[in-house]
Structure 1
Amino acid sequence: MTSLGNLRDLYQQVILERYKKPRHRGQTNPVDRYQKGHNPSCGDTIELTLRLNPSGDRIEDVKFEGEGCAIAMASADLMAEAMRGRSVDQAIAMVQQFQDMMKGGTEFPAEFRKLNVMQGVSQFPVRIKCATLTWHTLKAALESTNTQPSEEYVSNE
């Protein structure tokens, strides 16, 4: 059984690792969806690009650019990894599941256990918006047809 202290250490370790060395920073090629997200309360910004399969119902790649706190950037990197190969419907369901987890709901199944490290954020209500920004942005990207950068952004406030 893992103690709460060990769990907190693991959570901090994964977040710092993903913040310092993100694996999914950049822009997809081609860009099939583009969405900008912004968290006005702390200034986090995210620019998400997605590459979809030819029929447009499955995510082949997700990349992000942006600036923000360690939680926002780690969440973006973990989300990008988890979304590769998912259908659009699965991705939208996972956005809802992530938001539920941030409110103290159930965690993800074993295949997505890396996302569960973000569950520690739910203990800090002021930081939940940092963790969910990229997920709100993904949902907006999947529901739009934007392929070009624009000044419009989705906010999670």
Structure 2
Amino acid sequence: MSALDGLYQEVILDHSKRPIGKGELTETEAALTATHHEFNPSCGDEIDLSIAVDPETGRIRQVAWEGQGCSISMASASILAQLVRDDELTVDEARVRIGAFREMIQARGAVEPDEELLGDAVALQGVSKFVMRVKCAMLGWVALEADLAQVEARR
């Protein structure tokens, strides 16, 4: 295992043990909110991901999630929540990140991910080599995408 692979593995384990954003949505006052449930029938992983969006700026004020599943799906949701929080993403910026993550995770290692755009999510690039795990890594991202569509429909 290379040093980089070891670092990536450490990031995934850290996020699965100490998840960011896990819990209930608290920043709902004067916000557009949405919640979406995703389930992976092939392994049983599931997540409920909620967002609160400022209706004036389109900034995502909070991402919160509850779920159960493998360390990959839980770490991916945590990394996603941290990315949205730390970069104070707008709805449009979040869509760009989702697209970049989807491209990376479905490319089977053929695409060099943009670390500046994806942050710690690049640690999940190795998952793309394991087809059965791609859905696990995508679970939270797909839920966020559905939440964004709900919020956009009401804006």
TM-score range, shorter chain: 0.7 to 0.9
Residue identity matched to 1:7: L
What corresponds to 1:16 in structure 2? 13
- 1:144 and 2:145 matched: no
User: Could you tell me how far 1:8 is from its partner in structure 2?
Assistant: 2.0
Deviation at residue 81 of structure 1 after TM alignment: 1.1
Alignment partner, residue 153 of structure 1: none
* Amino acid in the other structure paired with 1:144: Q
Whether the 8 Å contact between 1:33 and 1:141 is mirrored in structure 2 is yes
CA shift at 1:112, angstroms? 3.6
Question: What is the Cα-based RMSD across aligned positions, in Å?
Answer: 1.8
- For the 8 Å contact 1:25–1:63, the answer to whether it is kept is yes
**Aligned match of 2:63:** 62
How far 1:60 moved relative to its partner?
0.9
Number of aligned positions between the proteins: 143
Structure 1 range deviating more: 5-14 or 125-134? 5-14
Matched, 1:48 2:49: yes
Q: How does 1:2-151 map to 2 (within 5 A)?
A: 5-29=2-26, 30=28, 32-55=33-56, 57-84=58-85, 85-104=88-107, 105-110=111-116, 112-145=118-151
Q: Distance in 1 between matches of 2:100 and 2:6?
A: 24
CA contact (8 A) 2:83 2:119 kept: no
TM-score (norm 1): 0.83
The percent of aligned pairs where both chains have the same amino acid is 37
In 2, Cα distance between the equivalents of 1:106 and 1:140?
26
Q: Is the 8 Å Cα contact of residues 108 and 115 (structure 1) preserved in structure 2?
A: no
Structure 2 runs not aligned, ≥5 long: none
Code of the residue aligned with 1:63 in structure 2: it is: A
Distance change >3 Å, CA 78–CA 106, structure 1 → 2:
same
What runs of 5+ residues in structure 1 fail to find an aligned partner?
A: 146-157
Q: Residues 82-107 of structure 1, C-alpha deviation per residue, up to 9 Å, x if partnerless?
A: 11311101111111110100123231
Structure 2 Cα separation of the partners of residues 48 and 40 of structure 1: 17
Whichever structure has more helix as a proportion of its residues is 2
Deviation at 1:9, TM superposition (A): 1.4
Tell me the distance in 2 between the aligned counterparts of 1:53 and 1:131. 27
